[in-house]
Amino acid sequence: MTTADALDHDRVNALRDFGNDSGELLAAMLADFLVEAPQLVTEIEAAMSTQSHDAAARAAHRLRGITGHIGATRLGDIASQVEIAAGTGFPVGSAALVAAARVELGLAVTAACVLLAQP
């Protein structure tokens, strides 16, 4: 797990090359990700600490959705597992899963920042 492979390069290139090739859609999606993903992971953590299963599942579902736009595949997979775990009452191991989401979020955020910084 590294920043370099936190985002799927094919998906990033598909977004960058889409439309008028100016990368507007990619930039917009990366910016949205930087705003929404940290909030959603925080929501998941808060919901888990209060055992609010529905709130955690909703936040994880939304997180999965936005990771799909920019190809944050690993974070999306973890979000998917968190959604399932929340739906089954947070079985043993869920805390590690949510912690993994936080770690992976850090990698994906850094990768997104690096991409946005590129001309």
Binding residues (CB under 8 A) for another protein: these are 10-11, 14-15, 18-22, 24-25, 28-29, 32-36, 38-39, 42, 45-46, 58, 61-62, 64-66, 68-69, 76, 99, 102, 105-106, 109-110, 113-114, 116-117
Nearer Cβ to another protein, position 92 or 117?
Answer: 117
- Closest distance between another protein and the C-beta of residue 75, in Å? 12
How is residue 32 written in tokens?
Answer: 């949205």
SS3 state of residue 20:
coil
Amino acid present at 77:
D
Q: CA end-to-end span of the chain, whole Å?
A: 26
Among all chains, which residue has been given the structure tokens 């919901």?
47
Nearer Cβ to another protein, position 52 or 114?
Answer: 114
